[in-house]
Structure 1
Amino acid sequence: MNPCLSCGACCAAFRVTFDISELESEGGTVPDGVADLETPSLCRMRGTDYARPRCIALVGEIGKSVHCGLYRERPNPCLEFAPLAEVGQFSDACNLARARHGLPPLET
């Protein structure tokens, strides 16, 4: 089983900033309602800019059972983070996020 489906730590550890062109209103796939404007050309996923970040799209309990509420529409930073886990390679960022939530590191 993919460990991401029981983790979700990355979605509650980092700011997710992406180009405004990824918003639906700009021709992209990310629903406008889940993002905040950061600069005239950048957006961020709501909830990821807090002292204790948690992406608005994260559904479930971290470390137990989670999923992305807009998986098919997620922005590029999320797309770029995911493939490592899908092939069984876990980045330092993945394990840093897990540590922030008291979860043990994943081995490649």
Structure 2
Amino acid sequence: MSEFSPCLDCGACCSTFRVSFYWGESDSAPGGVVPDRLIEQVTPHMSCMQGTNQPQPRCVALMGDVGSAVRCSIYENRSSTCREFPFHGENGLESPDCQRARALHGLPPLPSNPRGPGQAPPVAA
């Protein structure tokens, strides 16, 4: 069953921000899952997804067109940064970074709580 997630037709965050994370999340480290072939080293202890450390970032794992149908090609193996980035209205909370990324790509803002008070929209698993 497919559940509502504005991320499935957005992808703005993946094309706005540098996706940095601790190098130990790389699959070349014990317990790491992020494919090493898709990351670059930023500092001795931090890595980022290829393509996101650019003046016009776009994560190498993002498939599709921003604002249309998008998906992450490594969704099950994405970094903690991606796992923890909330869309605006998720769990009834504001996300100024999500709204800013959407605006930079010409996408309309998301409502704070599209399902009503106390009802956060479900996310795709």
The CA deviation string for residues 39-86 of structure 1, in whole angstroms up to 9 with x for no partner, is: 111101000011110000000011010000000100111011047665
TM-score calculated relative to the size of structure 2: 0.80
Moved over 3 A (4+): 82-90
The whole-number CA distance in structure 2 between the counterparts of 1:88 and 1:68 is: 24
Whose helix proportion is higher, 1 or 2? 1
Instruction: Count how many residue pairs are aligned between Structure 1 and Structure 2.
Output: 108
Bigger radius of gyration: 2
Q: Which moved more, 1:67-76 or 1:87-96?
A: 87-96
Give the deviation of 1:87 after TM superposition.
3.5
User: Which residue of the partner structure matches residue 19 of structure 2?
Assistant: 16
User: Which residue of the partner structure matches residue 67 of structure 2?
Assistant: 63
* Superposition map of 1:24-63 within 5 A: 24-27=27-30, 28-63=32-67
User: What SS does the corresponding residue of 1:4 show, helix, strand or coil?
Assistant: helix
Q: Is the 8 A contact 1:19 1:43 kept in 2?
A: yes
Which residue type is aligned with residue 108 of structure 2?
Answer: P
Q: Which moved more, 1:16-25 or 1:74-83?
A: 74-83
User: What SS does the corresponding residue of 1:98 show, helix, strand or coil?
Assistant: helix
TM-score calculated relative to the size of structure 1: 0.92
User: What SS does the corresponding residue of 2:37 show, helix, strand or coil?
Assistant: helix
Q: 1:65 to 1:88 in 2, by over 3 A?
A: farther
Q: 1:54 to 1:3 in 2, by over 3 A?
A: same
- What is the RMSD of the two structures over their aligned residues, measured on CA atoms? 1.5
Which residue type is aligned with residue 43 of structure 1?
Answer: S
Which structure 2 residue ranges, 5 or more long, are not aligned?
113-125
Identity of aligned residues (%): 46
Q: 1:73 to 1:84 in 2, by over 3 A?
A: farther
